[in-house]
Structure 1
Amino acid sequence: MTHTPRSVLVIGGGTSGNSLAVLLRRAGIAVDLVEVSPDWKAAAGSGITLQGNALRVLREVGVLDGIEKHGYASDGIGILAPDGTVIAAHADFRTGGEDLPAHIGMQRSRLQQLLIDRVRASGADVRLGVTATAFRQDGAGVDVTFSDGTGRRYDLVVGADGLHSATREMIGITDRPEPTGMAIWRAPAPRPAGVTRTEMIYSGRCFVAGYCPTSEDTVYAYLVERARDRAALDPDSYADEMRSLSEGYGGAWEEIRASFTDPKVVNHTCFDRHLVEGAWHRGRVVLVGDAAHCCPPTLAQGAAMSLEDVLVLAELLTGRGEWDERLLTDYHARRLPRVRMVIDVSVQIGRWLLDRAPDEERGRDVAALMGRTMSALRELP
């Protein structure tokens, strides 16, 4: 008798969706991946900080060598005064274990291309410019209708379609992201010769002014401020906004600021808190990553939490004989406490920044809270 492999539809071709597709294909599971954008690399963003626990998952996906080649590894963080003077420097937490760097910064487009190449090589069926428009479920599977008018049946559907997930809405989960009152400006820039680690300033005009090396030649710079009405912001002025907000910061900022000339490469994003407390599935449709949770980037753990979701879900799907309600309930139970911890800590740090509490007292609080959280993240998810 011919064995028909189990089949999974992954909705969303970002970091979590691509990684899940690779892990499932490696186990012989048939995977279709659909991405609503016709350009798989569209809106890749300027840069990303991959903490050790994210690197731990990406090693399993098979892209760590490429990340180490194209990114910039660091074990240290510098805290600076607005004029660029170093106030403190310390080793970052190796949340992925001692055999991995504390973090690697890299250009998002590079990471996306590495993952795209792995998905293509895995044999997954990829369709771009297409998304799911309807689900019809029974106890054995899901019939999916697509935006191009086609339809297919799957054993499981995974919504990896981001913070504003259409999949989440289609299955009736009503939890929505909530703004935290802060926003971040990001842009790529040439790497000043002396910048060899992530460095941040927690005072001055912005709540945080920082940069992270993303290759031998580049950094991504970011400025965190109180959220403004995005409708009142002119996208053509984005580079001017970053230059203005960074005025008064010295050191490497003098060189970085001069590179803010093209508004098209500047990204402006508001901070959101999002957590689906209840089940992350309905029947045989389940959520991963930002579709189920997201947090402000104050811990740089957003990508790591999404990737850990993928690792746990893939482990359960490839290790159990039955794909049933219990499997998806166990997935949620394993992920929820860890994700909630990271979200709560990330939001708390943001609140302290908004309160503009005394630097010395609040600095001790932030350091202690981050230390406890990062130590906990060394444990496997």
Structure 2
Amino acid sequence: MSADPSRVLVVGGGIGGLTAAIALRQGGHSVELVEIREDWAVTGWGLSLTGPALRALDTLGLADRLIDLGYGITTIANCDSDGNLIAEVELPGLLGPGRPAQAGIARSELTRVLRDSAASHGAVLRTALTVAQTVENGTSVTAVLSDGTTRDVDLVVVADGAGSKTRELLGIDVTPAYTGQMVWRAVVPRPAWADRLFTFFGPGDNAGLIPISAAYAYCFLTENLPTPDVLPDDELADRMRERLRPFGGRVAEVRESIRKPEDVVRRAVNTVLAELPWNAGRVVLVGDAAHTPSPQLVSGAALAVEDAVVLAEELARTPDVLEALDAFGRRRHDRAALVVEASRRVARLEQAGQQTEVPGLLGRTHGALAAAI
């Protein structure tokens, strides 16, 4: 427990915000979390919790529960468009014998577990609210919420995503950068052969499959597109099947199960990397608000959970909030930069048709991320 418990307001109820609420409550701080959405809706169908993510979640007592709800993964199989193996990447196991290196999981399940954990630890969770303004008071900060009410707190943790509106209020100048790619995701029944993370390098687009439970997986497709666009929702399933047409073998099998437009999401791939400092006074950025990699590294969630753990550690280490925030940023920046820059490099390699260089880059990056935080 912190030697000097603080009053903390967390902005954003995604992975970063909820794990921050859990870690800070475990550290003895008073926590209120505000989320602008009314229904805790999540975007996308699934994600992969990498070894570093599971290691950080293990310190919060959540790793095994999430592994049980998801699907354990130990390797990445990188294949050509017909499913022939090019290279296999053995993932670093960070939880010890008998536990997987990664876990695929439905986003809805992950969010539910994190929300329930935050509430059970005593965090106050409120929806349909966000921060409209913050005013520094020397030894505290006043947050004006979107409903006109105010909170006088010791710290505001900003976890409202890559397009963070609160970041703009702080004057931290960083604009999400489009990578030249769109990502498609569709939930599908899990084929019996999908017992690991698969990637398939096509002649133009790249695809993959990640199991998220015994019954389901999600198929992803990375589309190279110079300028992002928006397609009609009712066309998404048909359009995704068409984009997967150049792939044979296992992808062709999965392709035909993509039939419902509501099972498909398509988003522009943007990256964010804020330079230090990540705080303006007693207001600090965490998770995607500070650093957003592209999805090829499957490490956005890991960085967000690690941020929560490290922030709680630094607040426990020193009673001076500003010193703690400075130490937090210095511990986290280079690691986040490694992931964001590697993900940008992957996007450039894919766009240049140099996919055979991607497995080595992924392996080196995941190896580096196995180091202690």
Normalised by the length of structure 2, the TM-score is: 0.94
Alpha-carbon contact 2:87-2:359 (below 8 Å) kept: no
Range with greater deviation from structure 2 (21-30 or 155-164): 21-30
Partner in structure 1 of residue 176 of structure 2: 177
The answer on whether the counterparts of 2:56 and 2:309 sit within 8 Å (CA) in structure 1 is yes
Contact 2:82 2:247 in 1 (8 A): yes
Percent identity over the alignment is: 38
Question: Residue 231 of structure 2 corresponds to which residue in structure 1?
Answer: 233
Name structure 1 gaps, 5 residues minimum.
none
Q: Do the aligned partners of 2:134 and 2:143 also contact (CA within 8 Å) in 1?
A: yes
Q: Is this contact kept in 2: 1:189–1:256, CA < 8 A?
A: yes
1:290-301 to structure 2, matched below 5 A, reads 290-301=288-299
Q: Paired residue for 2:328?
A: 331
Q: Once structures 1 and 2 are overlaid, which stretch shifts more, 81-90 or 211-220?
A: 81-90
Single out whichever of 227-236 and 62-71 deviates more from structure 2: 227-236
- The answer on whether the counterparts of 1:44 and 1:112 sit within 8 Å (CA) in structure 2 is no
With 3-12 and 266-275 compared, the bigger mean Cα shift is at 3-12
> What is the CA-CA distance between 1:43 and the residue it aligns to?
2.5
* Corresponding position of 2:108: 109
Partner residue in 2 for 1:274: 272
Superposition pairs for residues 69-88 of structure 1, below 5 Å? 69-88=68-87
Counterpart AA for 2:212: T
Report what 2:203 is aligned to: 204
Residue in 2 aligned with 1:21?
21
Tell me the equivalent position of 1:9: 9
SS in structure 1 of the partner of residue 117 of structure 2: helix
Per-residue CA deviations over 1:43-71 (Å, capped at 9, x if unaligned) read 34211011000001111222212211110
Distance in structure 2 (CA, Å) of the matches to 1:121 and 1:17: 15
Q: Which residue of structure 2 aligns with residue 351 of structure 1?
A: 348
Q: Which amino acid aligns with 2:329?
A: H
Deviation at 1:323, TM superposition (A): 1.6
**How far has the Cα of 1:254 moved from its partner?**
2.9
Range with bigger deviation, 143-152 or 228-237 = 228-237
TM-score under structure 1 length normalisation: 0.92
- Contact 1:95 1:375 (C-alpha < 8 Å) held by counterparts: no
SS state of the match for residue 249, structure 2?
coil
Deviation at 1:371, TM superposition (A): 3.2
- Superposed CA deviations along residues 103-154 of structure 1, whole A, max 9, x for unmatched, are 1101111101110110110111111111111111111111111112211200
Letter aligned with residue 117 of structure 1: D
Question: Given that residues 54 and 96 in structure 1 are in contact (C-alpha distance below 8 angstroms), is that contact kept between their aligned partners in structure 2?
Answer: no
Alignment of 1:57-72 (within 5 A): 57-72=56-71
Assess, with a 3 A threshold, how the Cα gap between structure 1 residues 13 and 173 changes in structure 2: closer, same or farther.
same
Q: Distance in 2 between matches of 1:179 and 1:231?
A: 12
Is the 8 Å Cα contact of residues 97 and 378 (structure 1) preserved in structure 2?
no
Cα distance change of structure 1 residues 297 and 116 upon mapping to structure 2, 3 Å threshold: same
Q: 1:4 to 1:68 in 2, by over 3 A?
A: closer
Give the CA RMSD over aligned residues. Answer: 1.9
Partner SS, residue 215 of structure 1: coil
**Structure 2 counterpart of 1:177, one-letter code:** P
Q: What are the superposed Cα offsets for residues 242-300 of structure 1, whole Å, 9 maximum, x if unpaired? A: 11011132233233212212212211111222111131000110000110111111211
Give the CA deviation at 1:307: 1.4
CA distance in 1, matches of 2:159, 2:75: 32
Gaps of 5+ in 2: none
Q: Which amino acid aligns with 1:220?
A: Y
| Residues 48 and 210, structure 2, Cα contact 8 Å, conserved in 1 | yes
CA distance in 2, matches of 1:51, 1:219: 16
CA distance, structure 2, for counterparts of residue 315 and residue 98 of structure 1: 27
How far residue 213 of structure 1 moved from its aligned partner, in angstroms, is 0.5
Moved more, 19-28 or 83-92: 83-92
The alpha-carbon deviation at position 26 of structure 1 amounts to 1.4
Q: Which moved more, 1:99-108 or 1:348-357?
A: 99-108
2:363, 2:252 → 1: CA distance? 31
CA distance in 2, matches of 1:59, 1:4: 25
The DSSP-based 3-state class of the residue aligned with 1:209 is strand
Find out whether 1:371 has 2:371 as its counterpart. no
| Structure 2 CA distance for aligned equivalents of residues 252 and 78 of structure 1 | 12
